[in-house]
Amino acid sequence: MTRRRTAVLISGRGSNMAALLTAARDPAYPAEIALVLANRADAGGLALAAAAGVPTAVVESRPFRGDRAAHEAAVQAVLEAHDIGLLCLAGYMRLLTPFLVGRWAGRMLNIHPSLLPAFPGLDTHARALAAGVKLHGCTVHLVTEEMDAGPILAQAAVPVLPGDDAASLGARVLAQEHVIYPMALALVAGRAATPPAADVALSNPLPTPPSLPKPQSSSE
């Protein structure tokens, strides 16, 4: 089996990147993580990738301030040098231009911490709490020029619990991001991944309610 050479783009700690690296350790997984690229030299995920033996690269965005297309051209050159076939955005905090989006149409994935199309953009957990929704979650989608609007590949939902704040809700969502991102990448890379069990994709941390006594039948 030819595994699709995949690059993961990060800006920070790279927890979703780590989930993809773990999945790709399986020789039967259809994608090989062949590069981790960051736009910040201090991105924590670079050390994780290097420790896993994955090539890393940094294309700092600060020197290109005001010229996003030029920065993306530099990124594209690195991707071509590593013969990359698929891209995964994993906490890559850059709003992409048509230059890169067009070149990777249908081959660039992103994970977003909400059940799209609800709550595109930033601060999704706080906005979900403010809206009073009862379910929140995450979405893997293909990247298009419109932000967080590409075709949906996978979603997972979690309950919003009494007493939740943005941090506790975000942690519950993040656990599901680590489940569905490897699954979605496998789908795009060419293998039909088995969906996770329902109790994984829909996490319910509430305790099992006690069984109620059966009502006694009344005699005539």
Alpha carbon distance 81, 33 (integer Å): 15
Residue 15 assigned as binding residue: yes
156 vs 136: CA distance, rounded Å: 8
- Dist. CA 204–CA 61, nearest whole Å: 40
Q: Among the options 71, 112, 125, 141, which is catalytic?
A: 112
Q: Which 3 state secondary structure label does DSSP give 22?
A: helix
94 is known to lie in a ligand binding site: yes
- Between CA 186 and CA 190 the distance in angstroms is 6
- 96 annotated as belonging to a binding site for a ligand: yes
16 labelled ligand-binding:
yes
- Would the annotation count 1 as a binding residue? no
112 part of the active site: yes
Helix (H/G/I), strand (E/B), else coil: 78? helix
Residue 110 is assigned to a ligand binding site: yes
Binding-site residue ranges: 14-16, 68, 93-96, 110
Binding-site residue ranges for (6R)-10-formyltetrahydrofolate: 68, 93-96, 110
The catalytic site residues sit at 112
